[in-house]
């Protein structure tokens, strides 16, 4: 891998967190939820907008482990300020599937 490319990737701060609140985002143009994710004591709680309504309900999201980029600039989405980018993949039907660490890691653990 080109060193410049790796150096750019290394600047992206991807952390694990736990969803502590999820609610419908009625003002979003595309169906979405407003999430609050706990990234532990060092980083704290951050907000995100996520277009994950096809596979998840707000109740299912509470307590779910997720991965997110925490060092991108905040992004205004309608009346909501999204502070982190929760990571996900589209499945074969285009539904968004959240990325999670698979086994328990502490909130705030950095992708290694």
Q: Where are the domains of the chain?
A: 12-98
Tell me: the pLDDT tens digits for 69-83?
999 999 999 999 999
Q: Residue with structure tokens 């909130």? A: 107
Report the SS3 class of residue 81. Answer: strand
What pLDDT score does 2 carry? Answer: 61
Reported residue count of the chain is 112
What pLDDT score does 4 carry? Answer: 75
CATH architecture for segment(s) 12-98: Beta Barrel (2.40)
Q: Assess contact for 20 and 38: CB atoms under 8 A.
A: yes
pTM of the full structure: 0.93
């Amino acid at each position: 891998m080109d060193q410049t490319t790796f150096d750019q990737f290394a600047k992206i701060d991807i952390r694990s967190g736990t969803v502590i609140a999820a609610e419908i985002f009625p003002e979003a143009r595309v169906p979405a939820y407003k999430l609050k994710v706990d990234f532990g004591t060092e980083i704290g709680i951050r907000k995100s907008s996520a277009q994950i309504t096809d596979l998840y309900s707000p109740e299912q999201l509470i307590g779910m482990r997720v991965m997110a980029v925490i060092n991108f600039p905040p992004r205004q989405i309608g009346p909501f300020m999204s502070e982190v980018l929760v990571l996900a993949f589209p499945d074969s039907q285009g539904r968004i599937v959240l990325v999670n660490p698979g086994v328990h890691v502490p909130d705030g653990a950095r992708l290694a």
